[in-house]
Amino acid sequence: MRRAIFLKSLAAMAAAGVLPVSAQKAAALKMMIPANPGGGWDSTGRALGKAMQDAGAAASVSYDNRGGAAGIIGLAQFVNASKGDPNALMVMGAVMLGGIIAGRPPVGLDKVTPLARLTSEYNVFVLPVDSPHKTMKDLLEQLKKDPGSVKWGGGSRGSTEHIAAAMIARAVGVDPAKINFVAFRGGGEAIAAVLGGNVTVGGSGYSEFAEYIAAGKMRAVGVTSGTRLKGVNVPTLKEQGIDVEIGNWRGVYGAPGITDGQRKVLIDALHRTFKHPAWQDQMDKNRWTPAWLAGDEFAHFVDAEFASLRATMAKSGMV
């Protein structure tokens, strides 16, 4: 009798889409990566997909890279193509908020379902190896003399490195509106621009430039963290007298129109993955800081971040 009651309860939960992850068949997931290959969102999405499979939270994961406009192109595609799909995920982060503030697109994050924040990462600024500048101080001396002559390479307009560049300019007495920011559609393009000496300075999440810094192909001159990154011998901007600190968090959203039960299933799958050694190894490897926050708490965090970023960008003359 008890077994029959248990099985009926399990069937009811399955019909409602609220079975615990351990009791469900792992799904074939679709991951929207709203950036070109080679950048932070790309590496985060693919690392997450693999870890979800290793953790048994996904049977398989397919990826769709749609770069451009700080993730807004991918966001629009995700909204239009994934309505009600309980197996669709989208990687996003602080950069997307900046892009929405700067670009004011017709589609916003209110159209999709907040699931969880996963990581936080700080930006690093690098110089081409053959640059005449050796330090951040050298770079800023040129910025003060001729703001337009310093080409800042990074992600889309409104990205954290764009905001950081504007904040740096303001901190050293330069009109942020005069900075010469060169936006790229993906991390691969930004890396190529730095390696080719096509920009004066490049900015990105530390993990994106790490291998090139380690190989001596880029010269790191400052990170945007409050204290030095663990195991990284690069001074912070604050150490160098520049009162700028800004982080770059990354998270995951679900499709528009999924049920509360389907949302819970996805959050549980992400949490199971977050605790799995495969994901922990990826965080260590990429020097990502764990920053788990899920459900409504994550949604409230995004709203607060949106307001804070808007104020920062307005103060820096970006909007």
In this predicted structure, what is the pLDDT of residue 26? 83
CA proximity to 29, closest of 9, 6, 49: 49
In this predicted structure, what is the pLDDT of residue 63? 98
Residues of the chain with pLDDT under 70: 1-24
In this predicted structure, what is the pLDDT of residue 17? 46
Query: Using one digit for the tens of pLDDT, what is the confidence trace for 181-225?
Result: 998 877 788 899 999 999 999 999 898 899 999 999 999 999 999
In this predicted structure, what is the pLDDT of residue 24? 54
Model pTM? 0.80
Q: Give all strands (DSSP E) within 4-161, no chain letters.
A: 27-33, 58-65, 88-93, 113-128, 151-154
In this predicted structure, what is the pLDDT of residue 175? 93
In this predicted structure, what is the pLDDT of residue 216? 97
- What is the rounded distance in angstroms from the CA atom of residue 282 to the CA atom of residue 289? 11
In this predicted structure, what is the pLDDT of residue 187? 75
Mean pLDDT of the chain: 90
In this predicted structure, what is the pLDDT of residue 34? 95
Task: Kindly state the helix (H) or strand (E) to which residue 193 belongs, with its residue range.
Answer: helix 187-195
Interaxial angle between packed helices 40-54 and 277-286, expressed in degrees from 0 to 180 and rounded to the nearest 10? 160
In this predicted structure, what is the pLDDT of residue 134? 96
